[in-house]
Every structure is written in C-alpha cells, then in structure tokens.
Amino acid sequence: MTQTILVTGGAGFIGANFVHRWHSRHPQDRILVLDKLTYAANPKHLEGLDRVELIRADIQNGELVAHLLERHAVGKLFHFAAESHVDRSISGPAAFVQTNLLGTFALLEAARTVWAGDSQTRFLHVSTDEVFGSLGDTGYFSETTPYAPNSPYSSSKAGSDHLVRAYHHTYGLNVVTTNCSNNYGPRQHPEKLIPLAISRMVNGEAVPVYGDGQNVRDWLYVEDHCAAIERVMEAGNAGEVYCVGGDNEWKNLDLLHLLADQVDEALGRAAGTSRGLLTFVKDRAGHDRRYAIDASKLKRDLGWTPAEQFPSGLKKTIAWYLAALRK
C-alpha cells in the first residue's frame, strides 16, 4: 500500500543513507525529507531519487510539520535531525539545545496535535549511546543504563530522549527510540573521525589523535543501523527503547592504524606511509573513555543482527570517499 513518510535530517549522514534504503525497499512510497541544510547536510546525497521531496526548513517550525503530517497523511515520522559533533557542542552549545531539544519538542507537539491518539501512526526517535556517559574497561550500555551525559551534545540528546518518553506516557503518542553506537560509511561529513582521517591521509596531512588514542568506541556500518531503524519502526513495541550496536569495539589508535593500512593499500602506497601521519594532540574536554552497546534486546525481540564486517565495511567506506574526492 502506498504511503508517505516524513524523514527529518534526511540530507545528513545517517538520514540520507536511510532515505536511499527506504526508497529502494519501498518502491511505492513517497518520502518527504525535512532538513534545515546546515553545513553537515548535503542535498546532493538525494539526487536521482524519484518520489523524494526535499523541504528546506527548521524542525522547530511546528506549524509546518503539522501541515505536512496532515496534508500528506503521514503515518510514520523518522527523526534523524540533530546537531551531532561533540567538539562543536563544546564551543557552541546553544545550537545543540535549540535543534536537539527544542526541535524535538516541536516535532512531538505537531505529531500529538495531528495524530491525536491514532495508534497506527508512529514517531521513531534516533538517538545516541553518548547519553549514557562513559564506561570503564568492562560492561555495556543497555536500555536500562542510567543516563549520565558528559557533553552539551549528549545532554541535549538525553533531554530529547526524555521528552519522547514523556509524550508516550503522558499523551499516548506511539513512539519508539533507538540509541546507537558510532556509525561509519558513505556520505558522512568530513569533520568526523573516519572521513577526516581518510581525506588527510590522501593529502599527506597530519591526522589528529586525541590524548593517548586509547578511547574505545563500538563501530556500526551505517547500512546496518538503517536496517535496525526500519525493523524497529515495523515491529518495535510502542514506548520502548532499543540499543543498536555492532559488537565491534576499537581503540581509536588501533582503528586509525587499520584505516591507514587500508588507505595505503587502496592508493598503492608503501606500507606505513599513512601511519606516519598520525599526530597526538591535546585530549578533548570531557572525552568519554569507552562506549559499548549490548544490543541483545534488538536481536532477541526483533531478529536484527549487523551484516557488515568491520574490515570490509571500512574498505567500502574508503572506496566511496576516494571516489568522492576524485570528483
């Protein structure tokens, strides 16, 4: 059956990859993309896709969101739009509060007003594992982990998570939330670790390594994240939270070593060339030491598992960026 879905932040990294996935898997559906088109978005990510309409607007414009939901009989809203770069949140936190907290509030209000208790509609909120704070050498984040955000970015996302929860319990809005680990893959903004490192390695420039390089992150290929989001929208229980992770922990320095070796191989360079570009710099303020996700609920209840292996996913990512850099 033909339907229209609304995707906020659909010209950004994860959002654009999700739009491509939904477009290919649901050939009858129309996709409305609502995006402010900040520096981190790229409308070219959506070029060539029929049935996709890009609307340049701020998610804080609740009247517009309500109009879109009502006029197009939208029954599914995927909320990706967010300011997401931790360093930028440290130097300029106001934009993060505006977009991540107040923007989410505006979307929830629009959905509550238009959908008015219709249980067939659903609001999917895409969040991050950073809301849980920092882990020690052992343990994992799960859906029951207490919130302990340590940056303006993670704090703004934590606040938005709580709003989503409240709108379900107070107003009965059909919501689901996903908290995901670090994503990598095509279409990511070059300020993020992996695309930044690739571009600098290609250009023979220094690649910054924060602190001692031993901070640990759980990495997930963006296509696997998009598959999880689709599955949660389809079969997740209303009001519940699902943690999404790759069972793929890497210390930053080890990741950069692997990435450097793969870039050298892709470019036909002598082994070790790109490793020599790694440069230790002062650690980021409030830099969480380790993140790791326990995604067993998502696997057990909804049957999702990540399909991409990290070395092969990294090679695909490098190939995409090398092709983009040649354009």
Instruction: Say whether 140 is catalytic.
Output: no
Q: Average pLDDT for residues 238-262, to the nearest whole number?
A: 97
Q: Choose, from 58, 83, 129, 288, the residue flagged as catalytic.
A: 129
With respect to residue 195, please indicate whether it lies within any of the assigned structural domains.
Answer: no
Q: Specify whether 153 is catalytic.
A: yes
* Within a domain: 169: yes
End-to-end CA separation in angstroms for the chain: 39
Residue 228 in any domain: the answer is: yes
Give all strands of the β-sheet with 4-8 in edge-to-edge order: 52-56, 30-35, 4-8, 76-79, 122-128, 175-180, 241-244
In angstroms, the Cα distances linking 53 to 6, 16, 40, 169 are: 10, 12, 19, 33
Average pLDDT over residues 282-288: 90
pLDDT tens by residue, 181-236 = 999 999 999 889 999 999 999 999 999 999 999 999 999 999 999 999 999 999 99
Q: Which residues span the domain enclosing 244?
A: 4-186+219-249+290-309
Largest Cα–Cα separation, the chain: 62
In DSSP terms, 241 is beta-bridged to 177
**Residue 283 within any structural domain of the chain:** no
pTM over 0.85: yes
149 falls within a domain? yes
In a domain, 164, yes or no: yes
Q: What's the structural domain count of the chain?
A: 1
Given the residues 35, 58, 83, 153, select the one marked as catalytic: 153
Task: Kindly report, residue by residue over 197-207, the tens digit of the pLDDT.
Answer: 999 999 999 99
109 as an active site residue: the answer is: no
Task: Look at residue 262 and tell me if it is in a domain.
Answer: no
Q: Considering the candidates 35, 58, 83, 130, report the single residue annotated as catalytic.
A: 130
Distances (CA, A) of 5 to 34, 79, 146, 233, 242: 11, 11, 32, 11, 21
Cα separation, 6 vs 34, in Å, equals: 7
- Give the domain CATH number at 29: 3.40.50.720
The residues, ordered by sequence, that sit 6+ positions from 112 with a Cβ below 8 Å of its Cβ are 167, 171, 173
User: Mind listing the pLDDT tens digit for each residue in 56-106?
Assistant: 999 999 999 999 999 999 999 999 999 998 989 999 999 999 999 999 999
Report yes or no on 274 lying in a domain.
no
